[in-house]
Structure 1
Amino acid sequence: MAETHTAYTDIDTLIRALHTAENTPGAAALRARSYELLRPAPGAPVVDVGCGTGRAVAELAERGARAIGVDLDPAMLAAARSRFPGLDLRAADAADLPLSDGEAHGYRADKVYHMLPEPAAALAESRRVLAPGGRIVLVGQDWDTMVIDSDQPDLTRRIVHARADTIPHPRIARAHRNLLLDAGFHDVEVEVHTAIFTAATTLPLITGHAEAARRTGAISDEQAEAWVGEQTRRAAADRLMVAIPMFLAAATR
């Protein structure tokens, strides 16, 4: 799920948390589908932008691509180097990639564009570094469409939207197709894969939504407490239900 990692105080804890999340069947299948859409040729340079701790870079390398991971966060890159020694990892901004014009045959950005200050600049940069015929794949969630089962639907709706409003570009995933078309890409295709979460380990994610809504003033302390209490009871009784639509958009340069 597309959350920031600032809550983790050390790399070992972060690595364990990411390892758990990355190895869920849904997450692994979503990554695999993104690689299929990317169509990396053996030995072809492929850049994974916002690579985080390197899982996709490692998997693309295993598939024979000359995979390059790019991220601005030193902690993410340190974790990636610890997890997967020998990867080609570079510190750089999505709008200023350390690649020459037309160098890459593939470009992938997974749960990245919603946090960028200027997504259009990053997309223009993707077009610069891609060779003609190169493939681009964008993966992301629409933060307004998270579905959480609750006995308090109006309050839940308010919480979801308030959390979305704390994200720089919460609805950009639904715009991926048009952004790619506007940037001059062709053969644009879009898929939606819904991630389902029912385990109690999901509770911190959804209670974090309530805390964000409370901080913004969208809900009161009492409402936050009541909603978190309900979700906590659901978790204890194995009755959590969270659904997150994930959008994959792919196109050709």
Structure 2
Amino acid sequence: MSTHHEAAREHRDTEALLAVLDAADRMPSATRLRARSYELLCPVPGSTVVDVGCGAGRAVAELAERGVHAVGVDTSPSMLAAARKRWPEGEFHEAGAENLPFADGSVRGYRADKVFHLLPEPERAVAEARRVLCPGGRIVLVGQDWDAIMIDSDDPVLTRTIVHARADLLATPRAGRQYRGLLLAGGFDEVTVEAHTSVFTEPAMLSLLARLAEPACAGGAVDRDQADAWLAEQRRRAEAGRFLVAIPFFVASAAA
């Protein structure tokens, strides 16, 4: 495949992912969860706060509105391009959670939202957060438990198979429930953990279910007919106003 075609496909994939993320971010429960994460950061006006895995930069913009110097980092050039386009006044860098572009003790706040489940060694990211945070700085981790996603369905066994198969394709699908242990092992103090469950009933979230079913099908956990039948049932539920997905999120905070 030519480089042009690869670039076009990457652009389409990014746009599709952004559409899913934007739909989720606009949900009242998601807005409340972000606000809670900012509150737990205890932002100090003028201080530097890094948002790791910033994606399209929404949190960077919202943190800047709270008077801090917010910096977004992400490993995806396409996501960073979208962030810079959407928030041209923001500061964004290409970097991974294990290698942040900050000096020791130079950051007052560290936030990572839906990031650690992608990391094969999340303890390395915690150590890097500890390095860049100043004494007394705050860390806040937010993330869903991929193994515990709840979906109303006529076929709970198939639903469970799809959810668990998708989770098993991730590096650390149960990172959320591990936040407390990771922070304690990383030398953080005042560690607290909250659990919030976001409930989605809007048809816009059907695209999320496709992102569960398609990888499960590609990985061989279910066949094409099973995946198609499951998605068709979910579409019928959405059309009838009977659609429901509930996702547990863990929110952990601590002091350096």
Shorter-chain TM-score range:
over 0.9
The Cα shift of 1:20 comes to 3.4
Match of 2:217 among 214, 221, 238: 214
Q: Does 1:251 align with 2:254?
A: yes
1:181 maps to which residue?
184
TM-score normalised by the chain length of structure 2? 0.92
TM-score normalised by the chain length of structure 1? 0.93
Find the aligned partners of 2:138 and 2:219 in 1 and give their Cα distance. Answer: 39
Given the superposition, is the C-alpha separation of residues 205 and 14 from structure 1 closer, same or farther in structure 2, using an over 3 Å criterion? closer
Q: Which amino acid aligns with 1:93?
A: G
1:90 maps to which residue?
93
SS at match of 2:61: helix
Deviates most, 82-91 or 220-229: 220-229
Deviates most, 223-232 or 235-244: 223-232
The Cα shift of 1:35 comes to 0.3
Q: Which runs of 5+ in 2 are unaligned?
A: 1-8
1:222-237 equivalences under 5 Å are 222-237=225-240
CA contact (8 A) 2:213 2:227 kept: yes
SS at match of 1:151: coil
For the aligned residue pairs, the C-alpha RMSD in angstroms reads: 1.7
1:50 maps to which residue?
53
CA contact (8 A) 2:20 2:207 kept: no
Deviates most, 243-252 or 9-18: 9-18
Q: Which amino acid aligns with 2:166?
A: R
2:134 maps to which residue?
131
1:29 maps to which residue?
32
The Cα shift of 1:153 comes to 1.0
Q: Does 1:141 align with 2:144?
A: yes
CA contact (8 A) 1:11 1:79 kept: no
The Cα shift of 1:117 comes to 3.2
Given the superposition, is the C-alpha separation of residues 234 and 13 from structure 1 closer, same or farther in structure 2, using an over 3 Å criterion? closer
Find the aligned partners of 2:195 and 2:150 in 1 and give their Cα distance. Answer: 14
SS at match of 2:164: helix
CA contact (8 A) 2:20 2:205 kept: no
Deviates most, 83-92 or 18-27: 18-27
Deviates most, 132-141 or 203-212: 203-212
Find the aligned partners of 2:35 and 2:148 in 1 and give their Cα distance. Answer: 23
Q: Does 1:239 align with 2:242?
A: yes
Match of 1:200 among 176, 198, 203: 203
The Cα shift of 1:7 comes to 7.2
Given the superposition, is the C-alpha separation of residues 232 and 173 from structure 1 closer, same or farther in structure 2, using an over 3 Å criterion? same
Given the superposition, is the C-alpha separation of residues 85 and 13 from structure 1 closer, same or farther in structure 2, using an over 3 Å criterion? farther
Q: Which runs of 5+ in 1 are unaligned?
A: 1-5
Given the superposition, is the C-alpha separation of residues 143 and 189 from structure 1 closer, same or farther in structure 2, using an over 3 Å criterion? same
Q: Which amino acid aligns with 1:31?
A: R
CA contact (8 A) 1:149 1:241 kept: yes
SS at match of 1:9: helix
Find the aligned partners of 1:17 and 1:200 in 2 and give their Cα distance. Answer: 11
Given the superposition, is the C-alpha separation of residues 161 and 127 from structure 1 closer, same or farther in structure 2, using an over 3 Å criterion? same
SS at match of 1:190: strand
Q: Does 1:74 align with 2:96?
A: no
The Cα shift of 1:13 comes to 6.4
> What's the CA shift string for 1:83-130, capped at 9, x where partnerless?
111111111121111110000011000001111232111110000000
Matched length: 248
Find the aligned partners of 1:19 and 1:127 in 2 and give their Cα distance. Answer: 30
Given the superposition, is the C-alpha separation of residues 92 and 246 from structure 1 closer, same or farther in structure 2, using an over 3 Å criterion? same
Given the superposition, is the C-alpha separation of residues 239 and 7 from structure 1 closer, same or farther in structure 2, using an over 3 Å criterion? farther
Given the superposition, is the C-alpha separation of residues 242 and 16 from structure 1 closer, same or farther in structure 2, using an over 3 Å criterion? closer
